[in-house]
Chains A and B, each alone.
Chain A
């Protein structure tokens, strides 16, 4: 039997007050595939990720994530989702190691997993420094560790390699890149790079779908047009 789609959206709408942040978004993403989301600032990319993460409720339409209806069955998919947002979700006055141990406790993950990840992103030697003393790139590496700490089935990534130098970006590829073999939704402003590692491309403009199709059939120029 074929695996159910990882994400199914039908007419998804989400408002902030009177303004539609997302309007009538419909798509299906198979399990294990990568969706790249493009769009100018304020287009609805972050809102889409937060709805998929169960942090925001849809106001209209239907959303199924990992086979569960949102928001009714949100409880069933929390813990299977890893969110890497603009905010690293780390406490500034705790060290990287303390932060990861705290998140491991929330997710029932072992401390060994935290140590493995710190080593994998090259942060094991700076892991005991308070997060507020670390550079933005180092914080982003810790945020990657936090997002994959519980080995999630679905990764929601908002410009995941922002603030990372090329070497650090290479380090996180096995964890959050295509090689991680997870279903991924990636918000990106890099048309060529984003399309290269995606199966499906979604372009948003003012919350509405302006572009949707297999990534292989979308050109960087079409993505660039979203920003003009």
Chain B
């Protein structure tokens, strides 16, 4: 399964490098959203709960753009059929797509997080926040892959993805915002083990759930 998952992942990253359909759009969306928040909140700098909320919500909505496109090439260019004709474990597609989305999210955050620090964050950025974001990214990648696989079979894909994914991601948003809040505060505390555990547990539950149901999503 690993060999096949890596082949699909390599193909997906190659297609993204060629087409640049997801990462630039998601990064640009993040920057524009920061500007909107800056004027909408009428604040030149944020900290604590508000900073955490703005960062998480922005990254989440940017992620939805990538989730929407995750299976489009498979659907429109016969990738699903080609994969289903191969004698491979179908879970390899879940693993590959979740990893591809994870790579895309990290690539977007390489631009979006420094931009947030420059444009909106008041206190100095605590690098420990990257641990919280990494756990959030894993959850978004797995839940996003599941939602995308469900939605791509429907005509209203762009509507179904947020309708399915966002409610499932609410607990993750709560845990991420609470985990980030002290790290984005002036003289705030360090990592909150409790919220990290919640994120880790939520990620684990959805990894197992996705593994259990993904085969059925590919069935005729």
Contacts and interface: CB of A to CB of B under 8 A. Distances in A.
Given A87-B78, A102-B8, 12 more contacts: A54-B84, A55-B84, A57-B220, A75-B87, A78-B87, A83-B81, A89-B81, A91-B73, A93-B19, A98-B14, A106-B4, A107-B87
B83 interface: yes
Contacts of A81: 85
B3 interface: yes
Interface string A43-71: 00000000001111100000000000000
Contacts of B18: 93-94, 130
A103 B82 contact: yes
A106 B86 contact: yes
A85 interface: yes
Contacts of A88: 78
A81 B84 CA distance: 11
B77 to A, nearest CB: 5
A202 interface: no
28 contacts: A55-B84, A78-B84, A78-B85, A79-B86, A83-B81, A87-B78, A88-B78, A89-B77, A90-B77, A90-B78, A91-B11, A91-B73, A91-B79, A92-B77, A93-B15, A93-B18, A94-B15, A102-B7, A102-B10, A105-B3, A105-B4, A106-B4, A106-B82, A106-B83, A106-B86, A106-B88, A107-B86, A107-B87
Contacts of B7: 102, 105-106
Contact of B15 (A55, A85, A91, A146): A91
Contacts of B79: 89, 91
The secondary-structure label for the interface of chain B is: helix
Contacts of A130: 18
A53 B85 contact: yes
Contacts, number: 71
Contact of B81 (A87, A92, A102): A87
A14 to B, nearest CB: 10
B85 A83 contact: yes
B11 A94 contact: yes
Give the interface centre of A87, A91, A103 by most chain B CB atoms within 10 Å.
A91
B87 A85 contact: no
A56 B11 CA distance: 26
A112 B84 CA distance: 23
Contacts of A98: 11, 14
Contacts of A79: 85-87
- Of the candidates A54, A79, A92, A93, the one having the most CB atoms from chain B within 10 angstroms of its own CB is A93
A89 to B, nearest CB: 4
Nearest to A104: B7
Interface string B59-86: 0000000000000010001110111111
A122 B98 CA distance: 37
